[in-house]
Amino acid sequence: WEQSQPYKTEIGVGECAGVMIDLVATLLLESDEKLANADASFSSLDFADAIYYAYTAFINTAKAMLIAENLKTNTQAGIVTDFDTNFVATNKIDLDLSFEALVYQINQQEPTEDFAAYYIEQSKIFKQKALDFRNMQLTEKAF
């Protein structure tokens, strides 16, 4: 449109959609938001919601890490299984127990204050371990 040079794509398919986003970074940011919501719900004594937000942070974080490895993430159950297979079993990310056992504690516990505090803390620790691994990946790619 009134340009002296013809239009040409510079970054490929979807260029006209606007900015390129880093899906992994976006999902990790969403995990931070879920954890902030978990803290807010916990402060409001809404332990069931706090636990649910912590659970969604677990899932979002694992999904981000799988996407970073170019792996498909179709279902929450698949994300849990695939994270164990690709990160825990390979010792890329060290957890005290399987990711499945960690995440699915939500199904075995009542939404008490004690469990909510524990589960939120575990979700934060997991997010930090994943972020540390991701930062290491990015640093290695830079060199």
- The arithmetic mean of pLDDT across residues 89-109, rounded, is 96
| More confident site: 55 or 8 | 55
The answer to whether 61 and 99 have CB atoms below 8 angstroms apart is no
DSSP E strands, 37-118: none
Say yes or no: domain 29-142 is CATH 3.40.50.300: no
pLDDT score of 8: 57
The answer to whether 106 and 56 have CB atoms below 8 angstroms apart is no
The answer to whether 66 and 83 have CB atoms below 8 angstroms apart is yes
- Report in angstroms the alpha-carbon separations of 140 from 27, 90, 133, 135, 136: 21, 18, 11, 9, 6
Distance CA 44, CA 60 (A): 23
| More confident site: 124 or 21 | 124
DSSP state of 11: S
Q: 104-124: per-residue pLDDT in tens?
A: 999 999 999 999 999 999 999
- What residue has token string 């013809």? 6
Q: 43-60: per-residue pLDDT in tens?
A: 999 999 999 999 999 999
